Structure 1
Amino acid sequence: MALAQQSSPHARSARPTSQVMLWVMLAALPGLLAQTLFFGWGNLINVVWCVVVALGSEALMLSLRKKPLAFFLRDNTAAVTGLLLGLSLPQFTPLWVSAIAVISAIVMAKQLYGGLGSNPFNPAMVGYALVLISFPVAMTTNWAEAGLLWQSAPSFGETLSIVASGQQTTVDAYTMATPLDEYKHQIGSGTAAEVLQHPTFGGGIARGWEWVNAAFLLGGLGLIALKIISWHIPVSMLAGLAVMSLAFGSNPDQAAPLSLHMLAGGTMLGAFFIATDPVSAATSHQGKLIYGAGIGVLIYVIRSWGNYPDAVAFAVLLMNFAVPFIDHYTPPRTYGHHKARRGLPGRTQG
């Protein structure tokens, strides 16, 4: 895949890729901690397993391509892909399902395109979307009930046994529908006040989920403060989702309220850690604003009128398709010129 050619001067980051990816992993730790506290050991096991499989898959493909292993493995990009999948998958996802997601992400969505810098789609979201479509039962019925770690959650050993065996009957006592899923399917037969009585909401916005999203928001703000990512994609994505929710979902008796869209599901993880992937996202500031807003709009459209209660993966992948078009029409200003060169070939601008 040909890389977009941008005019000089070229800014050079003082941080190597390995350091940037390390900061991303560190910033995701508060979210992982919150997931563990509120939903048990499942996400922690997912993360460790997915990172191991990602590094193994990356090493195998690099060997087949006759590339230096140490040089490419040290950039930490494979580890970040595994981390994002481990954070995104349901807590009781069978290990074989998560392995398929990771292998698909590394082999199909990254290495077959030529490795880092050549992949047009977000690798983690390719793997997630593939297993969601291929194994819908495993991906929609294995979400843990919130608040279990200090109550009746299975121990670390029991959780590991459950995900290793992959037996659905074992986890039925510990699982519950996600807040977005519960609200979407129940609001048609009741009022918002009645739906919110379900234990998954816990008398608040979304039991446990609001704290997880707040933790990812905190980590994401840290990445912006460190200039690891820019604010354009997260802010425009959240703004796009908010505008759609206020425009089409102002009545909570008919559609999920804005608070639920923001603080349930993978909204903050998607805004700060997934949509900001530097390879598959738009490049210019203006392009990032369009790209992020498009993701936010698509999340609302799919959540409200599609078949999937959470739609971050599909929204990101659909906007990945649009990135070449966005980059073509939103190039940065050429150094020394007042306006950026854009528009149809041969068209002049004043």
Structure 2
Amino acid sequence: MENKLIVSLSPHVHGGDSVQKNMYGVLIALVPAFLVSLLAFGLGALIVTATSVAACVFFEWAIVKYLMKKPATTVCDGSAIITGVLLAFNLPSNLPIWIIILGALFAIGVGKMSFGGLGCNPFNPALAGRVFLLLSFPVQMTSWPQAGQLMSYLDAQTGATPLAIMKEAIATHDSSVLANLPESLNLLIGLPDSCMMGAGSLGEISALALLLGLIYMLWKRIITWHIPVSILATVFVFAGIMHLVDPVYASPVTVLLTGGLMLGAVFMATDYVTSPMSKKGMLIYGVCIGLLTVVIRLFGAYPEGMSFAILIMNAFTPLINTYCKPKRFGEVAKKK
């Protein structure tokens, strides 16, 4: 029996989906990771996150109202709040407030509003802000406070991150250095082996908290599995091959659980605006991000490669969308 398209007159039932609903759904999914960051860094996590969110919302409101001369109705859609939270999740918990504000200005003013606002930006605004700060203030952006200093902010003691230890093992070609890494279970839950271990940025403390956010977004159908699963699977396979070739490279499980890999795969690479539209395109996009991340981590100058990998593939998204166009409805296939 042939399936026929039935076209009926209005009124039609609305699907209930909206930009605002999806944005606040993502914010709910970020709650577990935020709570873990508060448990790990306390006052520092609260100050950095509150400053970033407030600055992003303010700059979007000011730019829309006074520069674009439009009603500032988009401020309440949740996109500026998400940019603020994700920017904060990519920062150390002792970053000075003025640097956070500069990062928020770049993320909203340059990364988003200069292209026309939500839906027009080719690059993820939060990652654009993070990379801008990393290149402009490399010392402040790579000084990682040790976990457990709940009431410390600017005077918090810093330490080495798991990614720095992995990079040291590669640089010295000494696999014994990897013994200083926390256990995989501790990386999963978000508990360092010692308070002397710098945990990293706010959003990369607990892989489990980020996975809970992934499950929630999949349950609510905010995102699909294609991008996060393809990124994580590619990283696991590529890192596993490198570990088998030379034990100086960390195990694939450790690679998955360290740094901003999980945060980027779940919350940043899946950004609606900057990721491909088709399922095939999403898989290509995710595989390329995974490959680039491992290559930069293992052979690049920076210990972390997730931010750069996502931004690079953001630039290729229009090309992927062109290559992976879905078949037109009603088109008759040409006979060979």
Q: What's the C-alpha RMSD, in Å, of the aligned pairs?
A: 2.3
Question: Residues 338 and 302 (structure 1 numbering): CA distance in 2 closer, same or farther, change over 3 Å?
Answer: farther
2:169 and 2:249 in contact (8 A); partners too: no
Partner of 1:3: none
Paired amino acid for 1:54: C
Alpha-carbon displacement from aligned partner over 1:89-129 (angstroms, at most 9, x marks no partner): 11111111211111101000111101111101111111001
Q: How does 1:1-350 map to 2 (within 5 A)?
A: 14-63=16-65, 64-69=67-72, 71-141=73-143, 143-146=144-147, 148=148, 153-155=149-151, 158-159=152-153, 162=154, 170-171=155-156, 174-189=157-172, 191-197=174-180, 201=182, 206=187, 207-208=191-192, 212-250=206-244, 253-337=247-331, 350=336
Distance 2:254 2:231 in 1: 15
Contact conserved, 1:270 with 1:312, CA < 8 A, in 2? yes
What whole-Å deviation, never above 9, does each CA across 1:279-299 have from its counterpart, x for those lacking one?
A: 011111100111111111111
Gaps of 5+ in 2: 1-6, 8-13, 193-198
Q: Is the 8 A contact 1:187 1:195 kept in 2?
A: no
Residues 230, 260 of structure 1: alpha-carbon distance in 2 compared, 3 angstrom cutoff? same
- 1:40 CA drift (Å): 3.3
Hey, what's the Cα distance between the residues in 2 that align with 1:324 and 1:248? Answer: 31
Q: How far, CA to CA, are the matches of 2:104 and 2:85 in structure 1? A: 10
Q: Deviations over 1:215-257 (max 9, x none)?
A: 1011111101110001111011111211211222335632122
TM-score by length of 1: 0.83
CA–CA separation in structure 1 for the residues paired with 2:123 and 2:335: 32
Deviation at 1:337, TM superposition (A): 4.4
Contact 2:52 2:104 in 1 (8 A): yes
Aligned AA (1:336): G
Q: Deviations over 1:163-195 (max 9, x none)?
A: xxxxxxx33xx2112101122114444743443
Q: Which amino acid aligns with 1:81?
A: T
Seen in structure 2, the aligned counterparts of structure 1 residues 204 and 227 have a Cα distance that, compared at 3 Å, is closer
- 2:300 alignment partner AA: G
Q: Which moved more, 1:248-257 or 1:315-324?
A: 248-257
Query: Could you tell me whether the CA contact under 8 Å between 1:299 and 1:310 is conserved in 2?
Result: yes
Gaps (5+ residues) in structure 1? Answer: 1-8, 163-169, 340-347
Cα distance between partner residues in 1 of 2:335 and 2:162: 50
The CA deviation at 1:328 is: 0.6
Contact 1:223 1:229 in 2 (8 A): yes
What is the identity, as a one-letter code, of the residue corresponding to 1:242? F
| Matched residue SS, 2:308 | helix
Q: Aligned residues: percent identity?
A: 36
Letter of the 2:105 partner, please give it: I
Q: Is the 8 A contact 2:184 2:254 kept in 1?
A: no
Q: CA deviation at 1:144?
A: 2.1
Give 1:303 deviation, angstroms.
0.6
Q: 2-side partners of 1:338 and 1:44: how far apart?
A: 57
Do the aligned partners of residues 13 and 315 (structure 1) sit closer, same or farther apart at CA in structure 2, a change above 3 Å counting?
farther
Report if the CA contact (8 A) 1:180-1:260 is conserved. no
1:345 matched to which residue of 2? none
Q: Match of 2:195?
A: none
Q: TM-score if structure 2 supplies the norm length?
A: 0.86
Contact 1:188 1:254 in 2 (8 A): no
| Distance in 2 of aligned mates of 1:280 and 1:119 | 7
Rate the CA distance shift 1:335–1:203 in 2: closer, same or farther, 3 A: closer
